[in-house]
Amino acid sequence: MIRSIRHFQDVHAHAASVAHWSQLYSQLTAGTLESSLQQLSSDRCHVFRERINQRVVQHGEAPGQRVCFAVPIAIPGTARMQGRDADDNSLFFLRGGEEFMFHMPTGMDLLSITFDRAFFDAALLEIPCAEEIARLLRQPVIKVPAQRFAECRQRLMAMFSEALVNDELSGTPARQDEFEQALLGELVQLVIDPACDRHQRSGSSTQDFIVEKCHRMAMAETMSAPSVMELCERLQVSRRTVQNSFRTVADTTPLSYLRSVRLNGVRRALMGSRAGDRPVGDAAAQWGVFHLSHFAAEYQELFGELPSQTPRAARWHDA
């Protein structure tokens, strides 16, 4: 069993350190980032707990041939998963290879548990209501009974915390199997609980659709980032509708959100290259930023450091 506990002051280094996941994180609120990432990996399971002190949007793809659960430990603000509103009584679920977008509020604490798909499917076949549960798991956000979820969360956290410090759990295949089966059993029992509505359905909201489309356009058209008015014209919605959508989903304005996405793009470009290979101005231009004096001030406000102070490839990968 592979274990690690790490702390970061950069969301991109944090995201790159989450094993098996292909994803990008973008920091949306201003200030120096502080985060922690605890991970456990066994043959059929990967568990990680992440805590981040800034609002972050995550966009990526779930690991292939896996099924992925996530249990909120704390949601201190508005969270949106796949366009659905989420709270402390929400269980998140993704299938391997599924694209996702997750708006994580400031200070969120999340426990994610990923199982090998064959291991999970075999367990699902053993329960009498397998077809109903399979339909329920088509939902990315599943509302579960509060008391039952609180008890499940407590047991999952206890198992995870013990496994992080207990060398005996990695001593034999039998102990690892016991650990994997216990985690899976807790989550299966949660979704088959009679108090859990197996017929719940919730679709993505129009506001989330607008924010996601704008996010995708900003990521795809980096050299000539569309303005807010251009986004309104393309989506054929009013400026007020776009403003309200970003306020509801991301608790910010569209201008601030799109600027943060571009600044995060510049930061990834800087961190992924050596200073001699890509000057700051070239990385900024790649993301449609040409007024370097304004750019430096905005970059420092968001990340708490100037672009010239950002660790470049050699330092980042050696850290």
Supply the DSSP string of 255-283, one letter for each residue.
Answer: HHHHHHHHHHHHHHHHHTS-TTTS-HHHH
* Surface-to-core class of residue 260, CB atoms within 10 Å of its CB (0-12 exposed, 13-18 middle, 19+ buried): buried
| Same-domain check for residues 150 and 262 | no
| Same-domain check for residues 181 and 279 | no
Q: Is the dihedral of CA 227, 231, 234, 238 positive or negative?
A: negative
| Same-domain check for residues 216 and 180 | no
Residue type, 268: R
Domain boundary among 191, 214, 246: 191
CATH number at residue 137: 2.60.120.10
Domain boundary among 191, 218, 240: 191
The single residue listed with the structure tokens 């568990």 is 47
| Same-domain check for residues 301 and 244 | yes
Q: Is the dihedral of CA 247, 251, 256, 258 positive or negative?
A: negative
What token pair was written down for 302? 């968001």
- Within a domain: 197: no
- Number of domains comprising the chain: 2
- Within a domain: 200: no
| Same-domain check for residues 63 and 183 | yes
- Within a domain: 265: yes
- Within a domain: 201: no
- Within a domain: 86: yes
| 19, HSE (Cβ side, Cα atoms, 13 Å) | 19
| Same-domain check for residues 18 and 138 | yes
Question: What pLDDT score does 169 carry?
Answer: 65
| Same-domain check for residues 177 and 229 | no
| Same-domain check for residues 224 and 185 | no
| Same-domain check for residues 158 and 213 | no
- Within a domain: 308: yes
What token pair was written down for 102? 């997750």
- Within a domain: 196: no
Instruction: Give mean pLDDT in consecutive 10-residue pieces for the chain, a chain of 319 residues.
Output: 93 96 96 96 95 97 96 92 93 96 96 97 90 92 94 96 81 87 95 87 90 93 84 93 95 94 95 88 90 90 94 59
- Within a domain: 246: yes
Determine the Cα–Cα distance for residues 139 and 144; give it in Å rounded to an integer.
Answer: 12
| Same-domain check for residues 176 and 233 | no
State whether residue 142 is helix, strand or coil.
strand
CATH number at residue 285: 1.10.10.60
| Same-domain check for residues 52 and 147 | yes
CB 40 within 8 A of CB 47: yes
| Same-domain check for residues 259 and 119 | no
Domain boundary among 161, 191, 221: 191
Question: What pLDDT score does 77 carry?
Answer: 84
Structural domain that includes position 250: 206-318
Determine the Cα–Cα distance for residues 61 and 24; give it in Å rounded to an integer.
Answer: 9
Other beta carbons less than 10 A from residue 293's beta carbon:
7
